[in-house]
Structure 1
């Protein structure tokens, strides 16, 4: 709290803006030495330099907006990427929502997107420091974005009229980690705050988006919500449960795949049946993690005219190439014995010096296995170690 008080002063904020990006430990050490030589206190220097480093890291999530925001380490790690939050804000607007109560707002990442989309925002956080940072981050939106310090349960909207219920919504991000601003640990779903029972009950009364971890127990997902898994640039970042007018008619499973500025989505009324198993073909396809989590692999397989390598392994195969935003594809060069000497010989013969190793269904440590291989040359390839039925394959392939 004392560091926050130090940071939220005109002098500290001016110094923070003047420092600019600090991307390395050496750069941070030089900045500390310079500011201490100028006569600033250790507390002042620690607050300013530490915040400059967080701003630099935050660029990956918030782009140029990070240059005027304030963060805690834990708050930044748990914040929604701005590009993902913008998609959520777009859904709110499309559903006719005018005001969002962001319960568990953290540093204000989602609220920033909501306000930027022209929605009124009431942002609430139980941690006083975090709420103060959210207020700073949302200050440019003036009265359109109000920040409150308190518990979600005490600030949840209770619409009293039909018109209110049609234009008001809740965004709920239950605390899934222990309290703190730096080192935190995950807690069990039964210990989320507010509780999932409370969150699900509230979602029955007002349109709600509930942000959860992508590995959340699927059996605990209510039957009447839309479950949307989201991946951003290859990483599955969250599961959102949508209720009321925010849940699309006929959609209960969705995989939103965001690549840069573009987004693609698979939707279905339920989990889709897997495709039939077939022999390894000329191509292998690795579904995006959001597609796997949403259990829409069968739908994707039928789109690609592909089959499963194994009924329990999330790799597809086909005889024809495929170009899909929902999968990464590989052209098979050759199938090798699962034998280090045979694989090394094939890599050496092909002059492969850069090798990507993927594995599914086999007990292999890719890092340890790599050390046993002979890698020489300028060519590159992908080695896919996978089980198919009772066989183990080492597939040498080219990423398309």
Structure 2
């Protein structure tokens, strides 16, 4: 959507409502509904696109989505509100003002402003900056937004950056290809005392600078981002932050410890993805009085069930060799027709194995494919 269409939509809130209602009631015929109402084709398309994106944005922003001005690329990179709100609260405990670099649609800037901070935001793309201004205006928040190069922007007492990780060629997994590149941003953000930099959750540990805190964040078991905390903001080497049903849980540590190795026990735990990515499996194992059965695989085993927000747990029922023909017979004997198949460290495709098993029966179970030492095994279990 170009800025002229954005301006036209801002000037016609009734059209925004009309488009949302047409999309809900008429589906694919919504464009015809708006055109019959006399709306110009380009403006109708823009209004319906905005309505579609706002509906999609509910997962990230809840009811706030209904007043946001969005683009597809901007929505994809935008931080979930529950994460942005929590990060802004951490900033606000240490600083009164923040520079928001690569601000995108401005949703992080809104979170900072709602936390009571003075916010100066910049984005290199003029059209994107217009969306950020529209969102600040719609929220009734005072946010300074300028078109500027993040690497040339003077920083306030704290700074946040969310560099672009997509281009016309797709998503960038190499931080050197971020826009701006990660190392350049790190050098620039070292000029302020308190800073944080949002990254994709797949960031390699080799990119984490010495002295930084690396945090991985998951929301309802979905790992959504990593964040580097820099300067005075760094509190621990590694942190995993999990939001479950709106409640936050944290586990921190060095990220360098190794969990003890032992045998299969009565209960199997699968750590949350944020725990695994942060390298905190050993810290979780200590909490659970548990161990691994292979030091390279993140399943944990313990003799007692200990409920934790950091992992799912299963009661181990049987341990079998990982031979598909034998598994088919064993599952058939037990009448298991509904089977959740999980795997780590075996290279087996669960979907392909499911076809081989030809499941029948009314019973339900979970089958975990993994390695116990160097041996491949299948663990039959029930969620605890």
Distance change >3 Å, CA 245–CA 82, structure 1 → 2 = same
Q: For 1:43-62, list aligned pairs within 5 A.
A: 43-62=42-61
Q: For 1:196-207, list aligned pairs within 5 A.
A: 196-206=182-192, 207=194
The two structures, once aligned, show a CA RMSD in angstroms of 2.2
1:89 is displaced (CA, Å) by 0.8
Q: Which residue pairs with 1:171 in the alignment?
A: 160
Q: Which residue pairs with 2:219 in the alignment?
A: 232
Q: Which residue pairs with 1:92 in the alignment?
A: 91
Work out the CA distance in 2 between the residues paired with 1:291 and 1:233.
13
Cα offsets for 1:303-352 (capped at 9, x unmatched): 10101120111111111112111111111122233233333334344443
Work out the CA distance in 1 between the residues paired with 2:218 and 2:141.
33
Compute the TM-score of the two structures, normalised by the length of structure 1.
0.89
Q: Which residue pairs with 1:219 in the alignment?
A: 206
Work out the CA distance in 2 between the residues paired with 1:115 and 1:334.
54
1:187 is displaced (CA, Å) by 5.5
* Kept after mapping to 2: 8 A contact 1:62/1:81: yes
Q: For 1:1-150, list aligned pairs within 5 A.
A: 1-2=1-2, 4-9=3-8, 10=10, 12-20=12-20, 27-95=26-94, 97-140=95-138, 142=140, 144-150=142-148
1:123 is displaced (CA, Å) by 1.6
- Tell me whether 1:152 sits opposite 2:150 in the alignment: yes
- Tell me whether 1:208 sits opposite 2:187 in the alignment: no
Work out the CA distance in 1 between the residues paired with 2:336 and 2:12.
52
* Kept after mapping to 2: 8 A contact 1:22/1:52: no
Compute the TM-score of the two structures, normalised by the length of structure 2.
0.93
Distance change >3 Å, CA 301–CA 187, structure 1 → 2 = closer
Cα offsets for 1:263-301 (capped at 9, x unmatched): 111112x22421221111111111111111111111110
Q: Which runs of 5+ in 2 are unaligned?
A: none
Work out the CA distance in 1 between the residues paired with 2:63 and 2:139.
17
* Kept after mapping to 2: 8 A contact 1:210/1:240: yes
Distance change >3 Å, CA 377–CA 33, structure 1 → 2 = farther
* Kept after mapping to 2: 8 A contact 1:282/1:317: yes
Work out the CA distance in 2 between the residues paired with 1:201 and 1:58.
33
- Tell me whether 1:311 sits opposite 2:298 in the alignment: no
Q: Which runs of 5+ in 1 are unaligned?
A: 160-167
Work out the CA distance in 2 between the residues paired with 1:230 and 1:39.
46
Secondary structure at 2:90's aligned position in 1? helix
1:378 is displaced (CA, Å) by 4.5
Distance change >3 Å, CA 293–CA 139, structure 1 → 2 = same
1:27 is displaced (CA, Å) by 4.8
1:16 is displaced (CA, Å) by 1.7
Distance change >3 Å, CA 185–CA 22, structure 1 → 2 = farther
Q: Which residue pairs with 2:368 in the alignment?
A: 384
